[in-house]
Amino acid sequence: MKSLLSLLTLLGVICSYSWGSPAPAVCNFGDPMFETLSRQNVRFELPKQFLVGQENLVIIHLEKPNLPSGYMVSVLVDTLKAPKTRPELQGWYPKTVIKPLKSGVHEIALHVNLIYKSS
């Protein structure tokens, strides 16, 4: 059994070296604007009061909302703390929907990411 494990480990090392060459230090497919656009302020517009059983909108405002072709915004919503029933969440840009199903303390994290995909 030990020799079989050693053989598989050796085979894995050999395959990893023969898989290909490492990527170059500079990627030619990158967009120089990404560095500037990815470092901008984001502001969240929250409802004055979150209502249980209703869709509550969180509006996301980017400092530079006019994005060139190939750019998109991704919104991920995580529930950190909630009563027994978790809220319904739909992470969209520029409007994210949060629908609490039970009253109580809810802690929710919104992650806003800029994505660039060249054609």
Digits of tens for pLDDT over the chain (119 positions)? 444 344 344 444 444 444 444 545 545 456 778 888 888 899 999 999 999 999 999 999 999 999 998 899 999 999 999 999 999 999 999 999 999 999 999 999 999 999 888 76
pTM: 0.69
* pLDDT score for 117: 83
As a whole number of angstroms, the distance between CA 43 and CA 54 comes to 23
Q: Are 77 and 84 in contact (CB under 8 A)?
A: no
